Amino acid sequence: MLPRVADSLSFLYLDMVRVVQDDTGVCAQIQVAHDRTDLVYLPAAALSCLLLGPGVSITTPALSTLARHGTSVVCTGAGGVRAYAGILPDSLTTHWLEQQVTAWADPARRLEIARRMYGMRFDATELPETVTLEQLRGMEGQRMKALYKILAQQHGIGRFRRAYHPDQWQAQDPVNLALSAANTCLYGIVHAALLALGLSPALGFVHAGTQHAFVYDIADLYKAETTLPLAFALHQSANPEQEARRRFREDLRLLRLLPRIVHDLQALLTPAHADADPDGEDRSERRDVDMVHLWDPKAGTLPAGINYASGGM
């Protein structure tokens, strides 16, 4: 069994190194002096995702070894806050992708997950059974306006209104500039987590119509405690975009956001009634993954490696 994505060694971030394969394993070459290069061996068999930041080069043999061990490789920006491309191994299980597609295609389950997202964001566990997605969006808008008002009062800002105008970028106030920059960093982290699990960033439950719909859905769960307070704290910054990216990277060391995102994704895509066994154990944390199975329209999933031909054939 391969290590789980939620394990402590799930994600490893590298920058300014050369990743190669030698006789022992995959290692990172670090140039520390003109005539000296240090080697740091990577625990390829215990990694679910390798994040390659700026200044990283990697050889084909090293990529092949990572693929054999089922390690996803994601090209990111500094600190892992952007996601540009991802290489997924053939051995990556489709379990979570199947859960996502099944829930997305079922209107009832799609609404259920949207409700659970709202509850995670605002601690609103008691929602009316008849609430619609349009009503949820209205409630979300009201909560966000109230949060903007509270943060503006805390930082002595007058009236604040969220605005995003790419065509008039420099005309925006420092809070909006910092918030847009920090949100972009958050989107990159969420995108990397989705790729590591083999999920589709395009199949969102609240957002739709873009290749990053699910990225926006998940990122919204963390904005109130990450990017929003950071952006308002930079309301007097002369360079809010640069400071937002730098401080966000520094805060990630304390937030441990990547493992949390993975855990929340698995919890959301697991049906509410199947989250825990009667003995209280979280089923998503200990599920045995069947590497290959067969699908049947009547019986559902069937074990592979069995000859289902009738006796007369």
pLDDT tens figures, 95-122:
899 999 999 999 989 988 998 898 888 7
Instruction: Give the lowest-confidence range in 16-25, 29-38, 246-255.
Output: 246-255
Q: Which of 10-19, 84-93, 98-107 has the highest mean pLDDT?
A: 98-107
Question: In 3D, which of 268, 186, 194, 178 has the Cα closest to residue 226?
Answer: 186
* pLDDT value at residue 133: 80
Q: What average pLDDT does this structure show over 251-273? A: 80
Alpha carbons 215 and 186: distance in angstroms, whole number: 9
**Whether the Cβ atoms of residue 3 and residue 71 lie closer than 8 Å to each other:** no
Question: CATH assignment of 95-269, given 3.30.750.24, 1.20.1070.10, 1.20.120.550, 1.20.120.920?
Answer: 1.20.120.920
38 vs 280, which has greater pLDDT?
Answer: 38
Residue 204: pLDDT over 80: yes
Fold entry, domain 11-87: Ribosomal Protein L15; Chain: K; domain 2 (3.100.10)
Residue 91: pLDDT over 80: no
Place of tokens 């005309």: 171
93 vs 56, which has greater pLDDT?
Answer: 56
Q: Where in the chain is the domain with CATH 1.20.120.920?
A: 95-269
pTM of the model: 0.69
Which tokens go with 295?
């699908």
Q: Where in the chain is the domain with CATH 3.100.10.20?
A: 11-87
Amino acid at 6: A
- Dihedral of the CA atoms 262, 263, 268, 270 (nearest 10)? 110
The mean predicted confidence, pLDDT, of the chain is: 80
Beta strands in the chain (DSSP E): 11-14, 18-21, 26-33, 36-41, 49-52, 57-58, 72-76, 83-87, 293-296, 300-303
- Dihedral of the CA atoms 102, 104, 108, 111 (nearest 10)? 140
